[in-house]
Amino acid sequence: MDLPLMIDRLRSYVEDETRTGDATALNAFADRLVHRYTELGATARRVPSPTGDHVVADFPGQGALSDAAPVLFLAHHDTVWPIGQLAGAMPWRLQDGVIHGPGVFDMKGGLVILETALAHLVGNGADHRPVQVIVVADEEVGSPSARELVTTESAGVVAAFGLEPPHPNGDLKTSRWGSTRIRITVTGREAHAALDPESGISAIDELVDQLIAVRSVVARHEHVLCNVGTLEGGGRTNVVAGSAWADIGFRFMDPETESAVLEAVTALPALRAGAVVEVKVMSNRPAWQPSAATEDLLAKVVAAGESIGQEVGGAAASGAADTNLTGWLGIPTLDGLGPVGKGAHAVHEQAVAASLAERAALVAAIITTI
């Protein structure tokens, strides 16, 4: 594996900034991926989506396994970072063997790892199953436009692997908590805050009380994470706010808890006469729970790692990703084949440079042995 070439490729990907929802930037990057995958022998295409197109690529198998069921790799090309982050708080730099920059860890490093492994296989002619690749454009907001695509395209695959970051020690991820985003929207009634406050209904006050009620629901259940990520409402201090909304992210260890919490939250009544409260599910990825099938797959990956002198481990994870969908469907699934590093969604995001080549070698070994 040519590490300097991988680092150069990663830099070019990071410098092509792709914030979730920026369709123009995401589609331009998708074109790059389609071109690259086609160069490597795949049939690749963009799958249209209003907020940014997804990419699907099908690589033929080789030798005795050319007609076997395919192995699936899941990735995404969106990041949480706004355009301009690279020129501001997070410039690209390689220092003491560590790469810094927006998206190096989550997850453009994973994209480089995958294409390097595929190029290696094309070059050495090793027998392997067909390989299917899905690169999603809105993973960072729960893949609302890609869920059906992942579900449909994963039918019939023998196993699924994610290119998300691994655990801090490099272990792969063998299960994930479920993730659901909801939006609570409150409609009140505007009025002059000093001259006629009694005729108004404060949407902000109602929303604050709704969020307290949500916390009360969450407190009744174990193994639930809840984060209010966005708040917006009102306009002026002399006007009773007529509208407000909040986006909330939940994490659930199991589907039973998810159902109970969401049922309770969506049933919360308005606390002020005349206020209207609406709750909408924005995205959902169900819990991917531990299974014997995944343990068997991990054993095969451990063996693949041993064949190239790498020690591979696995453990459960609390964060969600598109592998939730394949794991939930019962497909043997592992995630965390991205580079070792830290700082996902933080300004100190970084990846260990040497791990790019190590992970590419592991991915190539997986493809030729699964």
Residues annotated as catalytic are 78, 139
Token pair 């709750």 is at which residue? 279
Nearest to 141 by CA among 257, 46, 351, 281: 281
Strand 71-76 to strand 159-162: parallel, antiparallel, or no bridges (unpaired)? parallel
Which string of b and e fits 275-284 if b means at least 16 CB within 10 Å?
Answer: bebebeeebb
The tokens describing 107, both together, are: 């997850």
Bridge partners (DSSP) listed for residue 178: 252
One-letter identity of residue 161:
F
